[in-house]
Amino acid sequence: MTMEIIKNINWDATSFFERLASKNKLAIAEGFCFCRVSGLEGFEDALHNMQTTSAFIAVSDISQGYTELNTTPHTRRVKTVFLAMRHAIDDMVARQECMDTMRELFRQFMSVMIQEKTRVEEEHIYLDPRISFHEIDRYFLSGCACAYFQVATDVYTDLRYNSQEWE
């Protein structure tokens, strides 16, 4: 008797937010550049573009998560999306304007997330309806206003024992 292998699936957050960044009028007007990063400390791609752009949408290629071992095993992945806008150092008015722009961009992205949530549920990927948004209150990069939000997904994980995977 052979065991049918069920493919474990995931949501491609990086491609999704890259598409949003390329099609959103506010992101385009404000010159947001899309980047891939490895966590908050891994802003290499963004820093590389710092000379030519002043605003970033960066999706981390790492995720936090867990696998739940219960009657419906599933894996939760949490992807982080960073927003950053440069402004004149020590100009709190400019910093506030940048924060307002990033809040509005987040709101616009969430208006599309509602549609995406419905679409991916057809593929048995479940987006957590609670998406946290955090403003970084200190200077991460000198002269930059920064924020991030996190999107959690739950997907079925096939945890059936398969003897062919073991010696």
Query: Measured between alpha carbons, how far is 46 from 48 in angstroms, rounded to an integer?
Result: 5
**To the nearest 5 percent, what fractions of the chain are helix, strand and coil?**
30, 30, 35
**Strand, coil or helix: 103:** helix
Query: Measured between alpha carbons, how far is 82 from 34 in angstroms, rounded to an integer?
Result: 10
Measured from the Cβ of residue 38, the count of other Cβ atoms closer than 10 Å reads: 13
Determine the residue type at 50.
Answer: M
* pLDDT 10s digits, 62-80: 778 888 887 778 888 899 9
List all residues 6 or more positions away from 116 whose beta carbon is below 8 Å from its beta carbon.
16, 127
Assigned domain for 1 exists: no
**pTM, rounded to two decimals:** 0.82
Counted domains in the chain: 1
pLDDT of residue 10: 74
pLDDT of residue 75: 84
pLDDT of residue 158: 77
Pairing of strands 55-60, 32-37: parallel
Q: Is the distance from CB of 3 to CB of 152 less than 8 angstroms?
A: no
Assigned domain for 4 exists: no
pLDDT of residue 5: 47
CATH number of the domain that 45 lies in? 3.30.70
- Tell me the chain's radius of gyration from C-alpha atoms: 19
What parts of the chain have a pLDDT lower than 50?
1-3, 5-6
Query: Measured between alpha carbons, how far is 55 from 7 in angstroms, rounded to an integer?
Result: 38
Q: Is the distance from CB of 126 to CB of 153 less than 8 angstroms?
A: yes
Q: 123 is in which domain, residue-wise?
A: 13-160
Query: Measured between alpha carbons, how far is 138 from 108 in angstroms, rounded to an integer?
Result: 25
pLDDT of residue 161: 84
